Chains A and B, each alone.
Chain A
Amino acid sequence: MTIHVHEQVHRPRVSDQGFDARTPKVRIYLMGKEYQVPNVLTIMAAIEYAGYRLVRGCGCRAGFCGACSTIYRKTDDYKLYSALACQTLVEEGMYLVQIPFVPAVKSLYDMEEITLTDNVILRYYPEIARCVSCNTCTRSCPQGIRVMDYIQASLRGNIARAAHLSFDCIQCGLCSSRCPADIKHYHVGQLVRRVYETRIAPKSPHLARRIEELDSGVYDEEMNRLMTSSLSELKQRYESRKIEPVSED
């Protein structure tokens, strides 16, 4: 038996997307077919405008999840460009392909077993040693991250630098789809940051103390009183809270 998924039109009355019948159109190519779309749309909105119901290639719609990796070229230009479909405006003559995901292998590790003595990153991702410094990864990164630099820093065992350089990575995989050395940059970045935070970054001094207090039940009595106090009592305590000023650093 098959399920009949009823096509319902839950069309929201949302935002005018900023175009009407007079908005100039540009020509774009989706899977090689030509479509005319308003020139103010993002690539993602243009694909939908053209009639596609997105299933793959669409997540947050806001530049945070890396689901909408897109590769394209332009008319009379041999270069391949990359972008996030949800964050990039259409341009005349774009020839677009959506990449649903990059099937890069992630190494499995137990964080507790990791030590800094040998170069851990090299142990789990030995292929970083094969980087030929072509900089393709950096050029394809829609976040503007210096990807090659964080790979090189990882290779040299400069964990802190690699962790900070890679921090804004949304794991879209575009870098890894183009790397001649088949490096899995975003997985490397993930490991490097976890190693940095667990092995190098200083630990919070307050946290342990607060947890001890909680474990020893310091707050229990007062918490009970709060939880059982009357609404008016609670409101009164709420209104008399002291508010810490914003700028007091």
Chain B
Amino acid sequence: MKMIRGYPDYMRESIERVERTRAERLKTPYPPMSLAEREVLLHRFHPDFREEQKRPIAFGPSRGLKVNHELANVIESHPLVPSTLNLSQVDYQVDVLIIGGGGAGTVAAIWAVQEGIHPEKVLIATKLRHGDSNSTMAQGGIQAADRENDSPLIHYLDAMGGGHFTNKPELVQALVSDAPRIIKWHESLGVMYDKDEAGNFVENPGGGTSRKRLHSAKDYTGLEIMRVVRDESRNLSVPVIEFAPAVELLMDERGQVAGAVLLNLETKEYVVVRAKATILATGGFGRLHMQGFPTTNHYGATGDGLVLAYHVGAELVDLDSVQYHPTGAAFPPQIAGLLITEKVRGMGATPVNADGELFVYPLEPRDVESSAFIRECYDREKGVITPTGMRGVWLDAPMIDMIHGEGAIREALPAMWRMYERFGIDMTRDPILVFPTLHYQNGGIAIDVDGATTVPGLFVGGEASGGVHGKNRLMGNSLLDFNVFGMRAGISAARYARQVEVGHLSLAHVDRYEELLKDAGIVTDRTSPVLLPEYRGKEALERQLDVLI
């Protein structure tokens, strides 16, 4: 196959058609859909509406909630540790245990300390390295209504509409009202958001936002926030144990959550942490690969928090909907599924089909935009088929420099440019091929405005929680979410820890969970949480011997 600047020649023919319509597309915008049109499109093409891919959860407080089989499987699994585990040796005794060292966990740690807990009495336990998380990967930006033509009220409406009005109003109110304060906090910590000379933030629109409200730090927004809050938590000397995922929560005889069992991923020893308050900040579940979709998520995003919380009887909400980001890379195959930030469309690049036609308003909410891409590729058959058989539509990146001036891509989207450049494609000259990719866990563990669950002693912040975004999150609202609810969970956990008495550590809930499995007639050898996905080569696995060394 002959390759020209990163693309095989037959794809180049389609690119030429894209180039021919570019001038026209720059002039004539495409109209957004009405709510009614959105509904029709979603029902026909969104993966959430594929009934055969889902089943109702069989037992427990969220019984009947229809989720993808991949998620139902990890919920309907045996807990990893038996109830008979010897808990007599307590390895760590803390006030606040934070499970997950991404954005929410780190923010929670800082605020627990601000709230008066001594740093030595806080512990972050995390699966990979501190900061290896979805937070670090966020590119596009964070929402906060701080410009004059904007207000928290408009932000509220945007978030509710994006979530199909299924969000919990009080959580959205907390989200949008705390937003400007969070940005101020970041400014005081030294997060380098893009600004003009007068100090005004450079703000872009995002899918489903009616105002330009997205604050970004080039296209490394998550990395920049994460590394600053991590630096701050290190300055405060908050202890962190890396490569030590939680495999089960601990409770006491009064039914309060009282810490967790961690697993040392190197030695496979277990570690007992006794805590007065426990915060789950384990993030999302992209690596469960719902319906076989590739994902944008980091390696450790296996939905562990949902499983741990369900074991102790917490409620799960809105997990019947999953967010597929419209613009995952579809070519080259080495980056298939990785994220092309929405900022690319926010800055003016439009989606186009194989014939160079614009077929959808570029900034619909994500579920709508994704459905339109799926329709274009699989119903109207107007996608581009890659050499390995993937389908995608073009995202006409060169328009950005035409709108904002030469150099805009290199300046505002260095991560995107770098990723393509590494594989021989120059996105300042050529469009890039995209298709929806599994991106975000819209729902999660039910929380109140303080990040508290219905189980005493258990708090949640960030992507692991549910209710804030309803059935569809808008771009820029989850970086905001992990800050707002990481902070709220940290503060509430600290306050709770000051007044609670913890009794004897127990794993009795594991037995109760086994009972539930049995009563629901589930016979399986599956165990969960999953901890890491399986990507080893089939060829190698087929020859592997299961021997003890």
Question: What is the interface of chain A, defined by CB distance below 8 A to chain B?
Answer: 1-3, 5-6, 8-18, 40-42, 45, 48-56, 58-65, 67, 87-89, 101, 106, 108-111, 143-144, 163, 167-168, 170-171, 190-191, 193-198, 201-208, 210-211, 214, 219, 222-223, 226-228, 231, 234-235, 237-239, 241-247
Determine whether the beta carbon of A206 is less than 8 Å from that of B198: no
10 additional A-B residue pairs with CB within 8 Å, beyond A67-B132, A101-B129, A207-B187? A12-B288, A48-B537, A108-B234, A167-B220, A167-B224, A196-B192, A207-B146, A207-B183, A219-B177, A234-B157
Determine whether the beta carbon of B153 is less than 8 Å from that of A219: yes
29 A–B pairs (Cβ distance < 8 Å), ordered by A: A2-B269, A3-B263, A5-B80, A6-B526, A8-B534, A13-B292, A17-B336, A56-B243, A58-B128, A59-B136, A60-B137, A62-B419, A67-B132, A110-B235, A168-B414, A194-B231, A197-B192, A198-B188, A198-B189, A202-B197, A207-B183, A210-B146, A214-B181, A219-B153, A222-B153, A235-B165, A238-B35, A241-B158, A243-B210
Is B145 interfacial (CB 8 A cutoff)? Answer: yes
Known A-B contacts A5-B80, A202-B197; A211 and B184 likewise in contact (beta carbons under 8 Å)? yes
Contact partners of A50 in chain B: CB under 8 A? 537, 540
Residue of A nearest to B269 (CB): A2
Determine whether the beta carbon of A202 is less than 8 Å from that of B198: yes
Known A-B contacts A1-B86, A12-B292, A14-B292; A63 and B363 likewise in contact (beta carbons under 8 Å)? no
Determine whether the beta carbon of A108 is less than 8 Å from that of B195: no
Is B525 interfacial (CB 8 A cutoff)? Answer: yes
* In-complex Cβ contact of B270 among A3, A110, A168, A171 (8 A): A3
Residue of B nearest to A199 (CB): B190
Q: Once bound together, how far apart are the Cα atoms of A191 and B232, in whole Å?
A: 10
- Stretch among B293-301, B307-315, B440-448 lining the A interface: B293-301
Q: Once bound together, how far apart are the Cα atoms of A67 and B300, in whole Å?
A: 12
Determine whether the beta carbon of B299 is less than 8 Å from that of A54: yes
Determine whether the beta carbon of A196 is less than 8 Å from that of B190: yes
Determine whether the beta carbon of A51 is less than 8 Å from that of B223: no
* In-complex Cβ contact of B191 among A52, A197, A245 (8 A): A197
Contact partners of A59 in chain B: CB under 8 A? 128-129, 132-133, 136, 298-300
Determine whether the beta carbon of A167 is less than 8 Å from that of B540: no
Residue of B nearest to A203 (CB): B199
Q: Measured between C-beta atoms, what is the minimum distance from A31 to chain B in Å?
A: 15
Contact partners of B85 in chain A: CB under 8 A? 1, 3
Q: Once bound together, how far apart are the Cα atoms of A97 and B541, in whole Å?
A: 22
What does DSSP make chain A's interface, helix, strand, loop or mixed?
loop
Q: Measured between C-beta atoms, what is the minimum distance from B232 to chain A in Å?
A: 8
Is B333 interfacial (CB 8 A cutoff)? Answer: yes
Query: For A3, A202, A243, which residue has the most chain B Cβ atoms within 10 angstroms?
Result: A3
Determine whether the beta carbon of A204 is less than 8 Å from that of B201: yes
Known A-B contacts A42-B334, A235-B35, A246-B363; A51 and B537 likewise in contact (beta carbons under 8 Å)? yes
* In-complex Cβ contact of A204 among B177, B187, B300 (8 A): B187
Contact partners of A13 in chain B: CB under 8 A? 289, 292
Determine whether the beta carbon of A241 is less than 8 Å from that of B526: no
Is B521 interfacial (CB 8 A cutoff)? Answer: no
Known A-B contacts A59-B299, A163-B192; A226 and B156 likewise in contact (beta carbons under 8 Å)? yes
Known A-B contacts A2-B268, A238-B160, A243-B32; A18 and B136 likewise in contact (beta carbons under 8 Å)? no
Q: Measured between C-beta atoms, what is the minimum distance from B290 to chain A in Å?
A: 9
Q: Measured between C-beta atoms, what is the minimum distance from A229 to chain B in Å?
A: 9
Determine whether the beta carbon of B268 is less than 8 Å from that of A5: yes
Known A-B contacts A13-B289, A51-B541, A198-B189; A237 and B199 likewise in contact (beta carbons under 8 Å)? no
Residue of A nearest to B421 (CB): A144
Q: Once bound together, how far apart are the Cα atoms of A60 and B138, in whole Å?
A: 11
Contact partners of A65 in chain B: CB under 8 A? 129, 131-133, 136-137, 223, 298
Known A-B contacts A204-B199, A214-B152, A226-B156; A51 and B536 likewise in contact (beta carbons under 8 Å)? yes
Determine whether the beta carbon of A18 is less than 8 Å from that of B537: no
CB within 8 Å: A-B pair count:
285
Determine whether the beta carbon of A52 is less than 8 Å from that of B200: no
Contact partners of A207 in chain B: CB under 8 A? 146, 180, 183-184, 187
Q: Once bound together, how far apart are the Cα atoms of A51 and B536, in whole Å?
A: 5
Determine whether the beta carbon of A45 is less than 8 Å from that of B190: no
Known A-B contacts A42-B334, A223-B152; A49 and B418 likewise in contact (beta carbons under 8 Å)? no
Is B486 interfacial (CB 8 A cutoff)? Answer: no
Contact partners of A206 in chain B: CB under 8 A? 146-148, 200-201
Q: Once bound together, how far apart are the Cα atoms of A65 and B126, in whole Å?
A: 15
Q: Measured between C-beta atoms, what is the minimum distance from B132 to chain A in Å?
A: 3
Residue of A nearest to B220 (CB): A168
Q: Measured between C-beta atoms, what is the minimum distance from A232 to chain B in Å?
A: 10
* In-complex Cβ contact of B533 among A1, A3, A10, A55 (8 A): A10
Determine whether the beta carbon of B210 is less than 8 Å from that of A227: no
* In-complex Cβ contact of A88 among B132, B422, B525, B539 (8 A): B422
Q: Once bound together, how far apart are the Cα atoms of A95 and B530, in whole Å?
A: 32
Q: Measured between C-beta atoms, what is the minimum distance from A170 to chain B in Å?
A: 7
Contact partners of A49 in chain B: CB under 8 A? 536-537, 539-540
Is B60 interfacial (CB 8 A cutoff)? Answer: no
Is B317 interfacial (CB 8 A cutoff)? Answer: no
Determine whether the beta carbon of B183 is less than 8 Å from that of A5: no
Residue of A nearest to B299 (CB): A58
Contact partners of A61 in chain B: CB under 8 A? 298-299, 338
Q: Once bound together, how far apart are the Cα atoms of A21 and B191, in whole Å?
A: 48
Determine whether the beta carbon of B195 is less than 8 Å from that of A202: yes
Q: Measured between C-beta atoms, what is the minimum distance from B191 to chain A in Å?
A: 6
Q: Measured between C-beta atoms, what is the minimum distance from A91 to chain B in Å?
A: 14
Contact partners of A12 in chain B: CB under 8 A? 288-289, 292, 533
Q: Measured between C-beta atoms, what is the minimum distance from A195 to chain B in Å?
A: 7
Q: Once bound together, how far apart are the Cα atoms of A12 and B161, in whole Å?
A: 33
* In-complex Cβ contact of A60 among B268, B299, B389 (8 A): B299
Residue of B nearest to A218 (CB): B151
Is B21 interfacial (CB 8 A cutoff)? Answer: no
